[in-house]
Amino acid sequence: MSLTHLLARIQPLDAESMSVARARQDVLTKPQGSLGRLEALSIQVAGITRQPRPKIQHKVVTVMAGDHGVVAEGVSAYPQEVTPQMVLNFLIGGAAINVLTRLVGARVIIVDMGVAVTMDPHPQLIVRKIAPGTANIATGPAMTRQQAEACLLAGAEIVEAEIANGLDLLATGDMGIGNTTPSAAIAAAVTGKSVREIAGRGTGVDDEGLKRKISAIERALQVNQPNPADGLDLLAKVGGFEIGGLAGAILAAAANHRPVVIDGFISTAAAIIAVTLNPQVKDYLIAAHTSQELGHRLMTEWLGLTPLLDLQMRLGEGTGAALAMSIIEASCKVLDEMATFGEAGVSEKE
């Protein structure tokens, strides 16, 4: 698979499927529009999947993990050792994302894209490590352009394999101490907003930690001068291996006509990378929730997305996306399983 070929496979939504879905929504046993965003969601999924009555049966959350050289700048409240520790927690089923995926009937795929240590082999761990953590973006590029492309293709190949196993709804999640820093750098570069408007407290840094974080991001942008119109350049200069993997996962889902539920701050940075590479991707995205992380709302606005939920969450891992999966599935079930006025023998309004 080449990146050029992957990007070329991403097509506009299917207008005919959306038209049929919209017409059916209008004759279901309810006042037109009374189910609000559930109706719009089902029509979007119809266009994405090319199915007028789409069915969501095989839900997958991919949690991609990577470490970041910028933690040397004191940007996180937690030490880097937490990244592999949390990956192990995912693998034993003890993290929030495990609890929520069990609730909504989704599978979790855990991927080591660039954890700084060598993880012990585990049957549920996919290892696609590009390198043991990125370089420090405050002093130079995170990775080479070749590594950036490798991230994207690794993420895409993982999703292609899951699609072959039946995936019909993808959600994105992340793990990586320090990863709100590169995500904020990506967002600031693309939106043109100041770092202070974008960067939040991440894992809960204090005031001094926040100052260090803002300074590190400002230096990263000044030193690297990422091109906001070039997704590969953005990823290589100020991104992260797990961010690139998630961006590739999003591209592969779009290329295969699958909807993508993006989680919070880091997943949205990955979505920005994907959309910068191919603007058509935007139509395949569903924003799960509004993160409490400061600049997230600016990021979803730049993408033209309105998140489904606002639960004051900022954990990551795909937790918000897992919760949103049930809403998306509900929207499709309403479209498919509700009776029409004619089928139910219910009188329509005159």
Annotated catalytic sites, by residue?
A: 317
Half-sphere exposure of 13 (CA within 13 A, CB side): 23
Identity of the amino acid at 296? H
Identity of the amino acid at 289? H
> How far is Cα 178 from Cα 198, in angstroms, rounded to an integer?
15
Identity of the amino acid at 16? E
The answer for residues whose C-beta is within 8 angstroms of residue 310's C-beta and 6 or more apart is 289, 290
131 within 8 A of 112, measured Cβ to Cβ: no
Count CB neighbours of 343 within 10 A: 11
The phi, psi pair for 334, rounded to 5°, reads: -60, -50
Longest dimension (CA), the chain: 69
For residue 166, CA distances in Å to 2, 59, 60, 160, 226 come to 23, 9, 10, 10, 37
In the structure encoding, which two tokens stand for residue 12, read together? 């506009």
Provide the β-strand partners of residue 59: 106, 169
Give SS3 for 337.
helix
The phi, psi pair for 210, rounded to 5°, reads: -65, -40
How does DSSP classify residue 92?
H
Give SS3 for 218.
helix
In the structure encoding, which two tokens stand for residue 203, read together? 């894992």
In the structure encoding, which two tokens stand for residue 189, read together? 């570069």
67 within 8 A of 115, measured Cβ to Cβ: yes
Provide the β-strand partners of residue 169: 59
